[in-house]
């Protein structure tokens, strides 16, 4: 595609694939190597060795906290989990209205209300400290909003957050009403860390475009949630698990997969637009799943092995492996999360990455304003001014 303006003509691939649009210090995805990082740290190594709040601090402030900084940050963000009264009082109506679509749809409305209730101002008008404070408050509130909307949709009362639990454990507590087993809380925490950020994906880019207009943090996040809600972006973890259900038993793997591949259907949980080797998030989550063990994990590993062999046979020359959604669904199922909360849980992590990108973009006053190539009927020729 060629885009022609008054000063330049550029060949741009569809979907802006591979086009560099800005500089970032937040991280990168190196798809050919099967590696991605947050700041200067391997994201997978952070998931294996750090807590969610550590990574949150890293993304916002550029460094991992020491022990005193960690304690202060955890106390500060825990205090931000509670919702303003007017937002909490409006959640039952939001949950009823969004019941057919689920908590992620309700989050868009609730975030808008939260931003208005808190009087969030355009980032263009704020200094760096105030922008950061707004982003911290929004990130801390999102898990509370999501779990409350889910429980209200199930006819249950929301569970108030606890200040004494780390973010992941508190999320599970608010979702289920019971303090989670440490192993399950840690597994969810590792999943959350692994999905905080992942390059300039569609929702992150959307957040930065809105931030470049100078809009408030809530507006930027609502736009990002809208992008995430699309099934080509964030809606796959439950669909990957649905694939395992549809196959059902090991003897059905080969005929089921061959039929879908030959029909040109996409196998949910396999393939990634960036990685040309194994998705490092999938590899890590497979290890977490295997630490739990059980029939579901054994079946998932067998499906992965057989599907990759069939894809290698039917699509030679293409590297098609499991992506993050395949084992994310298995891990979340093992940890007791309902399937309608898989994508919202992804959102509860990614809001930190979105916010870090919003803060980085807000430091640059240049609005993002690309061009498009017109391909419609020719317009009339302008009449020269005399």
Question: Which residues, at least 6 apart from 251, have a Cβ–Cβ distance to it below 8 Å?
Answer: none
Q: Which of 272, 304, 321, 333 is catalytic?
A: 272
Q: What is the mean pLDDT of residues 52-75?
A: 98
Q: Which of 214, 193, 196 is nearest to 204 (CA)?
A: 196
User: Between these two residues, 20 and 355, which has the higher pLDDT value?
Assistant: 355
CA distances in angstroms from 289 to 23, 184, 253, 281, 370, listed in the order given: 36, 11, 20, 12, 43
What confidence tier does 8 reach under pLDDT thresholds 50, 70, 90?
very low
pLDDT reading at 260 higher than 50 = yes
- CB distance 226 to 206 below 8 Å: yes
CA atoms of 81 and 321, how far apart (whole Å): 38
CA atoms of 52 and 36, how far apart (whole Å): 17
Percent of the chain residues past pLDDT 90, beyond the cut: 71
User: Between these two residues, 264 and 206, which has the higher pLDDT value?
Assistant: 206
CA-based Rg of the chain, rounded to a whole angstrom? 22
CA distances in angstroms from 342 to 73, 95, 327, listed in the order given: 27, 17, 12
pLDDT reading at 53 higher than 90 = yes
Sheet with 35-38, strands from edge to edge, namely 27-30, 35-38, 41-42
Residues of the chain with CATH 1.10.580.10: 43-229+346-362
Q: Which of 53, 189, 304, 325 is catalytic?
A: 325
- CATH code assigned to 237-334: 1.10.230.10
- CB distance 56 to 77 below 8 Å: yes
Question: Which residues, at least 6 apart from 163, have a Cβ–Cβ distance to it below 8 Å?
Answer: 75, 78, 79, 81
CA atoms of 106 and 100, how far apart (whole Å): 10
Return the CATH fold of 43-229+346-362.
Answer: Citrate Synthase; domain 1 (1.10.580)
- Return the structure tokens found at 304: 């992965």
The pLDDT tens digits for 170-190 are: 999 999 999 999 999 999 999
Q: What is the mean pLDDT of residues 17-34?
A: 87
- CB distance 261 to 308 below 8 Å: no
Percent of the chain residues past pLDDT 70, beyond the cut: 95
Q: What is the mean pLDDT of residues 321-335?
A: 88
- The total number of residues written for the chain in this structure: 386
pLDDT reading at 4 higher than 60 = no
Q: What is the mean pLDDT of residues 186-212?
A: 96
Dihedral over Cα of 284, 285, 286, 288: its sign: positive
CA atoms of 364 and 49, how far apart (whole Å): 33
pLDDT reading at 7 higher than 50 = no
Q: What integer best gives the mean pLDDT of the chain?
A: 91
CA atoms of 191 and 195, how far apart (whole Å): 6
pLDDT reading at 317 higher than 90 = no
Residues of the chain with CATH 1.10.230.10: 237-334
CA atoms of 82 and 158, how far apart (whole Å): 12
pLDDT reading at 51 higher than 90 = yes
pLDDT reading at 3 higher than 80 = no
Q: What is the mean pLDDT of residues 79-102?
A: 96
Catalytic annotation present for 325: yes
Give the pLDDT score at 235.
Answer: 58
Give the pLDDT score at 2.
Answer: 43
The pLDDT tens digits for 118-175 are: 999 999 999 999 999 999 999 999 999 999 999 999 999 999 999 999 999 999 999 9
Q: Which of 3-7, 66-70, 309-313 bottoms out in mean pLDDT, i.e. has the lowest?
A: 3-7
CA atoms of 311 and 309, how far apart (whole Å): 6
Q: What is the mean pLDDT of residues 204-224?
A: 98
Catalytic annotation present for 181: no
Q: Which of 167, 208, 164, 160 is nearest to 191 (CA)?
A: 167
- CB distance 188 to 285 below 8 Å: no
Give the pLDDT score at 383.
Answer: 82
In the block, residue with structure tokens 């909360």: 341
The pLDDT tens digits for 221-230 are: 999 999 998 8
CA atoms of 333 and 317, how far apart (whole Å): 33
């Amino acid at each position: 595609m060629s885009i022609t303006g008054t000063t330049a003509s550029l060949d741009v691939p569809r979907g802006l694939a591979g086009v560099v649009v800005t500089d970032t210090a937040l991280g990168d995805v190196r798809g050919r190597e099967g590696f991605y990082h947050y700041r200067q740290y391997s994201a997978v190594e952070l998931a294996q060795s750090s807590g969610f709040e550590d990574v949150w601090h890293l993304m916002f402030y550029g460094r991992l906290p020491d022990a005193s900084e960690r304690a202060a940050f955890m106390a500060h963000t825990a205090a931000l989990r509670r919702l303003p009264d007017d937002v909490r009082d409006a959640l039952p109506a939001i949950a009823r209205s969004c019941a057919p679509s689920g908590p992620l749809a309700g989050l868009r409305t609730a975030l808008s209300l939260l931003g208005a209730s808190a009087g969030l101002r355009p980032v263009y008008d704020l200094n760096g400290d105030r922008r950061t404070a707004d982003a911290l408050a929004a990130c801390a509130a999102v898990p509370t909003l999501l779990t409350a909307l889910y429980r209200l949709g199930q006819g249950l009362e929301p569970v108030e957050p606890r200040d004494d639990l780390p973010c992941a454990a508190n999320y599970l507590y608010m979702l289920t009403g019971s303090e989670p087993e440490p192993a399950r809380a840690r597994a969810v925490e590792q999943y959350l860390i692994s999905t905080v950020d992942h390059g300039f994906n569609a929702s992150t880019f959307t957040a930065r475009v809105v931030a470049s207009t100078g809009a408030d943090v809530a507006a930027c996040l609502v736009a990002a949630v809208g992008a995430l809600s699309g099934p080509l972006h964030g809606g796959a973890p439950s669909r990957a698990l649905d694939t395992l259900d549809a196959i059902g038993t090991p003897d059905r793997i080969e005929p089921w997969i061959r039929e879908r591949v030959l029909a040109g259907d996409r196998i949910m949980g396999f393939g990634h637009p960036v990685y040309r080797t194994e998705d490092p998030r999938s590899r890590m989550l497979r290890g977490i799943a295997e630490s739990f063990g059980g029939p579901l994990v054994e079946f998932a590993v067998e499906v992965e092995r057989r599907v990759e062999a069939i894809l290698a046979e039917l699509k030679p020359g293409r590297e098609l492996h499991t992506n993050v959604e395949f084992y994310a669904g298995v891990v979340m199922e093992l940890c007791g999360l309902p399937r309608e909360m898989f994508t919202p849980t992804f959102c509860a992590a990614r809001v930190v990455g979105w916010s870090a990108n919003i803060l980085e973009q807000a430091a640059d006053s240049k609005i993002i304003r690309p061009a498009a190539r017109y391909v419609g009927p020719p317009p009339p020729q302008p009449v020269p001014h005399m």
